[in-house]
Copies of this chain bind each other. A is one copy, B any other.
Amino acid sequence: MPEPHPRGPLHGVRVLDLTRVLAGPFCTLLLWELGAEVIKIERPGHGDDTRLFPPYQNGESVYFASVNRGKRSLALDLNAADDRATFEALAAQADVLVENFRPGTMEKLGYGADVIAQKFPALIFARISGFGQTGPYRDRPAYDLIVQALGGMMSINGPEGGPGVRLGISLADTGAGMFTAMAIMAALYERRASGKGRVIDMAMYDCQTMLLEASLVRYLATGETQAPTGSRHPVITPFDVFQTQDARIAIACANDDLFQKLSDAIDRPAWKTDDRYAGVFARYANHAALKHDIELALAGKPAAEWLRLLETAGVPCAPIHDMADVAADPQLNARGMFVEVNDPEMGVLKMPGAAFNISGYPRDPTRPPAPNLDEARADVLRQLGRAPEPQRERVKGAPRDPIW
| Contacts A179-B356, A207-B355 supplied; 5 other A-B pairs, CB < 8 Å | A143-B254, A152-B323, A165-B231, A166-B232, A209-B355
- Tell me which residues across on chain B come within 8 A of A189, comparing CB atoms: 9-10, 13, 185, 188-189, 192
- Tell me which residues across on chain B come within 8 A of A326, comparing CB atoms: 151-152, 209, 212, 216, 219
For the complex formed by this chain, how many copies does it contain in all? 2
Interface membership of A62, Cβ < 8 A? yes
Interface membership of A2, Cβ < 8 A? no
- Tell me which residues across on chain B come within 8 A of A403, comparing CB atoms: 255
Q: CA separation between A210 and B170, bound complex, in Å?
A: 12
Partner of A200, one of B152, B322, B358: B358
Of the stretches A70-78, A133-141, A263-271, A285-293, the one at the interface is: A133-141
Partner of A182, one of B185, B327, B353: B185
- Tell me which residues across on chain B come within 8 A of A226, comparing CB atoms: 323
Q: Is there contact, CB below 8 Å, between A318 and B150?
A: yes
Closest to A221 in B: B62
Closest to A322 in B: B155
Closest-CB distance, A224 to chain B (whole angstroms): 8
Q: Is there contact, CB below 8 Å, between B166 and A30?
A: no
Q: CA separation between A240 and B148, bound complex, in Å?
A: 11
Interface membership of A235, Cβ < 8 A? yes
Q: Is there contact, CB below 8 Å, between A250 and B149?
A: yes
Q: CA separation between A166 and B236, bound complex, in Å?
A: 14
Interface membership of A248, Cβ < 8 A? yes
Partner of A137, one of B169, B179, B249, B330: B330
- Tell me which residues across on chain B come within 8 A of A359, comparing CB atoms: 113, 117, 198-201
Q: CA separation between A57 and B163, bound complex, in Å?
A: 29
Interface membership of A366, Cβ < 8 A? no
- Some 27 contacts from A to B, beta carbons below 8 A apart, are A11-B190, A26-B213, A55-B218, A62-B217, A142-B316, A145-B231, A146-B250, A146-B316, A146-B317, A149-B250, A149-B320, A153-B168, A156-B323, A157-B167, A158-B159, A200-B356, A202-B355, A202-B357, A210-B352, A210-B353, A210-B354, A212-B352, A216-B327, A219-B323, A219-B326, A225-B324, A254-B404
Closest to A239 in B: B145
Interface membership of A24, Cβ < 8 A? no
Q: Is there contact, CB below 8 Å, between B159 and A159?
A: yes
Q: Is there contact, CB below 8 Å, between A145 and B334?
A: no
Closest to A233 in B: B145
Closest to A359 in B: B199
Q: Is there contact, CB below 8 Å, between A131 and B211?
A: no
The interface bits of chain A over 275-289 (1 if a CB of B lies within 8 angstroms of the residue's CB, else 0) are 000001100000000
Interface membership of A351, Cβ < 8 A? yes
Q: CA separation between A108 and B274, bound complex, in Å?
A: 37
Partner of A132, one of B159, B210, B357: B357
Q: Is there contact, CB below 8 Å, between B210 and A55?
A: no
Interface membership of A400, Cβ < 8 A? no
Q: Is there contact, CB below 8 Å, between B360 and A198?
A: yes
The interface bits of chain A over 324-363 (1 if a CB of B lies within 8 angstroms of the residue's CB, else 0) are 1111011110110110000000000111111111111000
Partner of A321, one of B150, B174, B203, B352: B150
Q: CA separation between A66 and B170, bound complex, in Å?
A: 25
Closest-CB distance, A351 to chain B (whole angstroms): 6
Q: Is there contact, CB below 8 Å, between B149 and A319?
A: yes
The interface bits of chain A over 173-215 (1 if a CB of B lies within 8 angstroms of the residue's CB, else 0) are 0111011011101111111110010111111011101111111
